[in-house]
């Protein structure tokens, strides 16, 4: 690999380098881009400050990419019974990371960094991902062996594989012993939870915000508005249709479809009809879906597309998601449902179906929405996003939160959400680390397409963000970068109206956090799980504390047990498990939900998860 006719120092070639795993192709391209930026800065005599910024970003991104890739490869390596291949490959990673660190340290020590050293780094990258290398072998495994419902989550597998031989014990004491704490109880304050059912709650929402926009729905390439009144009318008609079938109040109805407006319609219809929706991840395999249906005792299944024979045989009735039945409902049983009854059964995509399943009550769901409303206040008329699976409880209660504030939910395609943001200009972005990684890649591409002057002015975005997060503020030149580069980029990407950019299900990598804060995107992290209805603690943008999970949300109490397990208590804690004899007594005791995660309180008094 060498400089090509376009003048780039390191040129990407799909045929030579693509692994056919999109996540890693994008990361490899980013490494190429950083080497090109560094070559240009050195070749054109840019300032030492700018060269240093690129070197530090290259070092940060190298660490991020290798950690990300190693975790996936380690998982696949063990599955392929070739763990030695993984360890050999990791040694290659460490070699390159060492070269990048050496470059950065030489520059900081005032030593001259030669083009020869940079060429060595480029040639190593070429050898690392060129055809026939280990990356390609793992990509073949990914294509042929990894199931469709595989969800890659950075950090967890790697953390598990590298755990010490003597891990911190999490000893769930016997129920008779009670719960013994080793910390203060961190209290998020009082919370007034609406009485009754989700259906009755939504009736009140419609009464308050009837003609306001409840949803933005993609139709022939444009977003069209649906009011709260229209949403309620459609949901009640579908509720009547469901009750005109063999389904009866109290039955459990499995839903298997991509997130969209009609998914929310069906969800509300179930609540109006007194049915219990069981949300299946659309990416889940037929086997997993069948396991969940069997475990929950679902009577019916609503599915988009063809339904496997085994799934159809597992239920009494199968309905087409694209043609939901409708009828006038003379009675809507869900309006009289008690708040302590089960509202939905939710699953964690990362947990085996036979070992998971949380029964969440109407009170749980409404408490989560109300906690978000108090913790993230926004006024009527705002717009939030829905691009995650609505089977994910975090996304579902986020839609309830938006409706509770009189705000609209914009239904964005999971794959197209980056391109659709500009059309809706959300006030609240509901995301996860993987989504911010996608958004980061697109913004980096647009930064790279700018003229060299704007690239130079805006190139320190992560450094600026680090200063903001750490409380050091920004230098005067940040104003110019914001005016010339960051503000136009936010407007172009549809991020200019953001009040909250939520990230749930796991902490963002530092480089992503710094990047978006430098760009002017108000990232805040939400800690929660299925067992806490997606709500637990909030690490807000205006008082962000690195490595912390933040402070408890309104209505939530958090503590650390004697055995260092993080405990959560409050109205968002699940009503029970599918198998109370086997699971409930182990993880729910004295009203405390035992998360299974090791927690600690730092010297600053802030809660965090232990490494």
Residue of 339, 358, 360, 336 whose CA lies nearest to 347: 358
Which residue did the predictor score with more confidence, 169 or 134? 134
* Maximal C-alpha separation, the chain: 82
Mean pLDDT of 174-184: 69
Tokens linked to 341: 């009854």
Residues 6 or more apart whose Cβ sits within 8 Å of residue 555: 188, 189, 190, 191, 193, 367, 370, 371, 570, 571, 572
Mean pLDDT of the chain: 83
Which of 92, 65, 3, 93 has its CA nearest to residue 40? 3
Q: What is the pLDDT of residue 136?
A: 53
Cα gap 202→63, rounded to integer Å: 47
Give the tokens for residue 51: 């060269």
pLDDT score, position 163:
33
- pLDDT surpassing 90 at residue 167: no
| Cβ-contact 337, 196 below 8 angstroms | yes
Specify the pTM. Answer: 0.76
Residue 463, exposed/middle/buried by CB under 10 A (0-12, 13-18, 19+)?
buried
Say which residues have a Cβ less than 8 Å from residue 611's Cβ, sequence separation at least 6: 159
Q: pLDDT at position 423, please?
A: 96
Contact yes or no for 440/515 (Cβ under 8 A): yes
pLDDT at 158 over 90: no
- Contact, 461 vs 517, CB < 8 A? no
Rounded CA-CA distance 499/429 in Å is 9
Structure confidence at residue 459 (pLDDT): 83
513-532 pLDDT, tens digit per residue, is 999 999 999 999 999 999 99
Residue 72, pLDDT score: 63
Using one digit for the tens of pLDDT, what is the confidence trace for 187-200?
Answer: 999 999 999 999 99
User: pLDDT class for 171, splitting at 50, 70, 90?
Assistant: very low
Which structural domains are found in the chain, ordered by start? 14-145 (1.20.120.50), 198-337 (3.40.50.980), 401-609 (3.40.50.12780)
- The stretch 43-53 carries a mean pLDDT of 72
pLDDT on residue 154: 45
Give the per-residue pLDDT at 243: 96
Mean pLDDT (whole number) for 344-361: 76
What secondary structure does DSSP assign to 269-301, as a single string? HHHHHT-EEEEEPTTS-HHHHHHHHHHHT-SEE
Give the three-state DSSP class for 428: strand
Write the pLDDT tens digit of every residue in 9-39.
Answer: 778 777 777 777 776 777 788 778 888 888 7
Residue range 253-270: mean pLDDT, rounded: 97
Which value, in Å, is the radius of gyration of the alpha carbons in the chain? 25
The owner of tokens 């030593």 is 111
Predicted confidence at residue 92, as pLDDT, reads: 66
Burial status of residue 267 (CB atoms within 10 A of its CB: 0-12, 13-18, 19 or more): buried
Confidence label for 463 from pLDDT (cuts 50, 70 and 90): very high
Q: What pLDDT sits at residue 12?
A: 78
If we measure between CA atoms, which residue out of 213, 215, 222, 224 comes closest to residue 259? 215
Question: Is the alpha carbon torsion for 318, 321, 322, 326 positive or negative?
Answer: positive
- CB-based burial, 392-425: b 16+ in 10 Å, e otherwise: bbbbbbbbbbbbbbbbbbbbbeeeebbebbeebb
Residue with tokens 């809507």: 332
pLDDT value, residue 159: 35
Regarding predicted confidence, which is higher, 46 or 543? Answer: 543
Q: Specify the pLDDT at position 78.
A: 40
């Amino acid at each position: 690999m060498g400089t090509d006719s376009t003048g780039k120092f390191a040129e990407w070639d799909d045929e030579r380098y693509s692994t056919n795993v999109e996540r890693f192709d994008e990361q490899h391209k980013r490494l190429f881009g950083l080497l090109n930026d560094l070559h240009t800065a050195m070749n054109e005599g840019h300032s030492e400050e700018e060269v240093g910024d690129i070197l530090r970003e290259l070092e940060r991104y190298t660490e991020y990419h290798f950690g990300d890739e190693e975790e996936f490869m380690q998982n696949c390596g063990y599955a392929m019974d070739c763990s030695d291949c993984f360890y050999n490959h990791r040694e290659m990673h460490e070699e390159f990371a060492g070269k990048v660190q050496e470059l950065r340290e030489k520059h900081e020590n005032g030593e001259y960094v030669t083009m020869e050293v940079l060429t060595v780094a480029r040639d190593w990258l070429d050898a690392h991902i060129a055809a026939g290398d280990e990356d390609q072998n793992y990509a073949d495994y990914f294509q042929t062996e990894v199931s469709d419902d595989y969800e890659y989550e950075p950090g967890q597998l790697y953390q598990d594989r590298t755990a010490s031989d003597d891990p911190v014990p999490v000893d769930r004491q016997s129920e008779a012993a009670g719960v013994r704490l080793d910390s203060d109880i961190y209290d998020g304050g009082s919370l007034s939870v609406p009485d009754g059912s989700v259906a009755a709650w939504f009736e009140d929402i419609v009464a308050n915000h009837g003609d306001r926009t409840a949803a933005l729905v993609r139709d022939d390439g444009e977003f069209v508005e649906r009011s709260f009144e229209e949403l309620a009318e459609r949901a009640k008609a579908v509720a009547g249709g469901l009750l005109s079938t063999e389904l009866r109040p109290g039955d459990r109805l499995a839903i298997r479809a991509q997130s969209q407006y009609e998914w929310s319609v069906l969800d509300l219809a179930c609540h109006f009809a007194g049915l219990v929706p069981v949300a299946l991840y659309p990416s889940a395999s037929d086997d997993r879906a069948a396991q969940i249906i069997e475990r929950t005792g679902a009577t019916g299944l609503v599915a988009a597309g063809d339904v496997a024979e085994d799934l159809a045989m597992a239920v009494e009735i199968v309905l087409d998601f694209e043609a939901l039945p409708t009828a006038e409902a003379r009675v809507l049983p869900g309006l009289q449902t008690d708040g302590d009854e089960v509202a939905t059964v939710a699953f964690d995509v990362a947990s085996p179906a036979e070992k998971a399943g949380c029964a969440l009550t109407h009170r749980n769901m409404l408490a989560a929405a109300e906690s978000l409303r108090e913790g993230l206040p926004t006024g009527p008329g705002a717009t939030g996003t829905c691009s995650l699976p609505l089977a994910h409880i975090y996304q579902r209660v986020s839609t309830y939160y938006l409706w509770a504030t009189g705000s609209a939910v914009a239904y964005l395609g999971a794959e197209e959400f980056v391109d659709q943001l500009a059309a809706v200009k959300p006030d609240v972005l509901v995301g996860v680390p993987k989504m911010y990684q996608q958004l980061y890649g697109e913004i980096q591409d647009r930064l790279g397409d700018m003229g060299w002057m704007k690239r130079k002015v805006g190139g320190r975005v992560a450094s600026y963000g680090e200063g903001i997060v750490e409380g050091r503020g920004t230098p005067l030149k940040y104003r110019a970068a914001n005016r010339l580069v960051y503000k136009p980029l936010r407007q172009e990407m549809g991020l200019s109206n953001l009040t909250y950019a939520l990230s749930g299900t796991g902490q963002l990598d530092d480089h992503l956090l710094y990047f978006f804060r430098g760009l002017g995107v108000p990232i805040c992290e939400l800690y929660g799980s299925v067992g806490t209805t997606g709500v637990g603690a909030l690490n807000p943008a205006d008082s962000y504390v690195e490595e912390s999970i933040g402070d408890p949300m309104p209505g939530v109490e958090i503590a650390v047990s004697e055995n260092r397990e993080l405990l959560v208590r409050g109205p968002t804690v699940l009503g029970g498990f599918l198998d109370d004899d086997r699971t409930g007594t182990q993880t729910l005791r004295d009203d405390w939900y035992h998360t299974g995660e090791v927690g600690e309180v730092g010297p600053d008094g802030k809660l965090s998860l232990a490494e």
